[in-house]
Chains A and B, each alone.
Chain A
Amino acid sequence: MMAIASTDTAIRSGRVTRTFLYLVLLLFALFYLLPFAIMVMNSMKPLDEITGGNMMAFPTDWTLEPWRKAWSEAQVGVDATGLRPYFYNSLIMAIPAVMLSTFFGALNGYVLTKWQFRGHNIVFGLLLFSCFIPFQIVLIPMARMLGIFGLAGSTGGLILVHFVYGIGFTTLYFRNYYAAFPTELIRAAQIDGAGFFRIFWRILLPSSGPIIAVSFIWQFTNIWNDFLFGASFADFSSQPMTVALNNLVQSSTGVKEYNVHFAGAIYAAIPTLLVYIVAGRYFVRGLMAGSVKG
């Protein structure tokens, strides 16, 4: 009798704390989503509804006009091109930079764990510097280097910068992941007659799915969202989305079209959002993988 009564209260009190917990979480989620909701709302109303009234209100006149304008008509810098060309700039900058830095991070991780050489830890330590060094410090030397390479003010230059500064983090990820990868497998492959690159292609990379996802997401988000390098090293023809968005918002000619600005900001956020939604669960899994095995 006593036992039954006490389990009963245990369940009931568990339910109470659980409800409370969910309420708090819900509140945080709302708090977090609110700015995004406001952006979406305001990007879908005519300008006079914003300037004349309440930013918090739902649109009375739903319209996609600001979205069209932001994409292809808005005045960004000198020309009224909309954000479209800059969106493409960002894509052709981010995709190669992400792939290159991920690939070389994997290669570095492979060498640093499975083909260790004298001083491998020092090399790894130096690579880690690039994860923690404030980027402002490297701006001027980097500008000089890009000038020497003939890549100043080009998308190629931005790809190089992001690729180089991405290697630190990607190497860290892959090194830790491959440290938990059984060395006996590499030895077995050596006896089977596979060489350095064959082992990498045929055995290591196919088992690296989760950490490749981590590296992709991390690199894509960082490179897509980067403003500093874009503002410093790009010219008008190669400006990435973030810089263009800033120019759009800061543009001093004509009235400030807040609804268009909101739509533009959402355009800038969509790719990283998509990447998270598609690959996010691998991100968590990949981050966990090393810790559980290691």
Chain B
Amino acid sequence: MGFLDIRNATKAYGSVQVLHEVDITVEEGEFLVLVGPSGCGKSTLLNMIAGLEDITSGEISIKGQPMNGVHPSKRNIAMVFQSYALYPNMTVGQNITFGLEMHGVPKTKRDQAMADVAKLLQIEPLLARKPGQLSGGQRQRVAMGRALVRNPDVFLFDEPLSNLDAKLRVDMRTEIKKLHQKLGTTIVYVTHDQIEAMTLSTRIAVMNGGYVQQLGTPKEIYDNPANLFVATFMGSPSMNLIDVTLRVEGNSVFADTTDAKGARISLPINASVNGLDGKNAILGLRPEALTDVDGSDARATQIAHVPNEVTVTEPAGSDTFVTTSFGGKDCVARMRADADAKPGERVTFAFNMDKAVLFDPETEARIA
């Protein structure tokens, strides 16, 4: 049993099922990120943990205590909302201590707690201001202060950074991560930004259509996606997907496809040979596993060199993204900045086949 247990939790609005049997166990001090496209049920799940939405069936417990039917204020959780939800009529100080006041904490203790939090978040000069007189980043900080001051068991964040501009978002992301490392609190964090999910989390739950598609560490999710959805949702630029036909030759498996000219090419696959012969599949390969020859991973056990025609190059400073075509689909390779690739020319691409994954085109499930 973990610190926060979600067992078989479902949610239905009338006949519409928006969450299907969610099972997640979060250990103390973990940073769990719920990530997925808009409308997949992330906020609904978070609100169910908070007690703002009823659980249709299943159970949610915190520290072993079942929370079904327990009022939000009695769950010892704190939540940071997307809009920050600061009370507009109160000062920053009052905003931070409102929850303590409602829980009957005496004034001297409240002031002490407020001072501590204000110091931690460096918002001391703002305490007398109203939320309307703060910048977006400052509001964000105050909203976190309001959550921190209660010293809760679990922090819930619902897309806390999505209202900030790009630069500030990165800064605040780092700050949240620092805060987590410093305080070691348990956090459940909702976002639809996969970079936020990768950078912040200790574990990620990728959701789609009300289902948890995969639950795992960022590395597991990135390197070993359970299905095509997870593979394409996580990572930017997204994973290359090449239509291939599998061919078994003795003890080896090959994935056959075509290059830009339509000529047949063959890529060696690390997979058991059982039942794969003649099967159509989708081969997934992240852009950084498709490089120029000099840039390929020296520790890889299986590198395939395939010459192909370059269609577009996009220098991005540190790397150059090179587009070509395999199996009739555009593929992006991540080459060194000074790699020799020009549109229209033939270049040798290095496939790091250790990193290749295979999906069934019908079920979209992982084959190998």
Contacts and interface: CB of A to CB of B under 8 A. Distances in A.
Contacts of A193: 73, 99, 102-103
A275 to B, nearest CB: 25
Contacts of B77: 191
A207 B88 contact: yes
| Residue from B47, B51, B73 with most neighbouring chain A CB atoms (10 Å) | B73
Nearest to B94: A202
A194 B102 contact: yes
Nearest to A209: B89
A271 B82 CA distance: 46
Nearest to B104: A193
B52 A190 contact: yes
A119 interface: no
A206 interface: yes
Contacts of A206: 89
Q: Majority SS of interface residues in chain A?
A: helix
Given A193-B73, A194-B102, A207 B52 contact: no
Contacts of B72: 187, 190-191
A161 interface: no
A190 B75 CA distance: 11
Interface in A146-194: 182, 184-185, 187-194
B89 A192 contact: no
Contacts of B51: 191
Contact of A188 (B47, B85, B89, B103): B85
A203 B87 CA distance: 7
Interface string B64-79: 0000000111000111
Contacts of B85: 182, 184-185, 187-188
A198 B52 CA distance: 17
B81 A184 contact: yes
Contacts, number: 56
Nearest to A183: B85
A187 B52 contact: yes
Interface in B37-67: 47, 50-52
Interface string B87-125: 111000000001100110000000000000000000000
Contacts of A185: 85, 87-88
Interface residues of B, number: 22
B79 to A, nearest CB: 5
Nearest to B147: A191
Contacts of B88: 185, 207
Contacts of B73: 190-194
A188 B102 contact: no
Contacts of A189: 87, 98
A185 B88 CA distance: 9
Contact of B99 (A182, A187, A192, A203): A192
Contacts of B71: 190
B98 A194 contact: yes
A207 B99 contact: no
A190 B52 CA distance: 8
A193 B87 CA distance: 14
A187 B50 CA distance: 10
Given A184-B81, A198-B102, A203 B52 contact: no
B286 to A, nearest CB: 37
A207 B89 contact: yes
B138 interface: no
Contacts of A187: 47, 50, 52, 72, 79, 81, 85
Find the residue from B73, B78, B83, B102 having the highest chain A CB count within 10 A: B102
Interface string B244-287: 00000000000000000000000000000000000000000000
Contacts of B47: 187
A182 B83 contact: yes
Nearest to A190: B72
A271 B85 CA distance: 40
Interface string A200-226: 001100110000000000000000000
Nearest to A184: B85
A184 B83 contact: yes
Contacts of B99: 191-193
A49 B87 CA distance: 63
B221 to A, nearest CB: 29
B155 to A, nearest CB: 11
A187 B78 CA distance: 11
A60 to B, nearest CB: 57
B74 to A, nearest CB: 8
B79 A203 contact: no
B113 to A, nearest CB: 14
Q: A182, A184, A189, A192 — which one has the most chain B CB atoms within 10 A of its CB?
A: A192
B133 to A, nearest CB: 15
A182 B82 CA distance: 11
Contacts of A191: 50-52, 72-73, 77-79, 99
Contacts of B89: 203, 206-207
Nearest to B97: A192
Closest 5 CB pairs of A and B: A193-B73, A192-B99, A193-B102, A206-B89, A188-B85
26 contacts: A182-B83, A184-B81, A184-B85, A185-B87, A185-B88, A187-B72, A187-B79, A188-B81, A189-B98, A190-B71, A191-B50, A191-B51, A191-B52, A191-B77, A191-B78, A191-B79, A192-B73, A192-B98, A193-B73, A193-B102, A194-B102, A198-B102, A202-B98, A203-B87, A206-B89, A207-B88
Given A192-B98, A193-B103, A202-B87, 13 more contacts: A184-B81, A184-B85, A185-B85, A187-B72, A189-B87, A190-B52, A191-B72, A191-B77, A191-B79, A192-B73, A192-B146, A203-B87, A206-B89
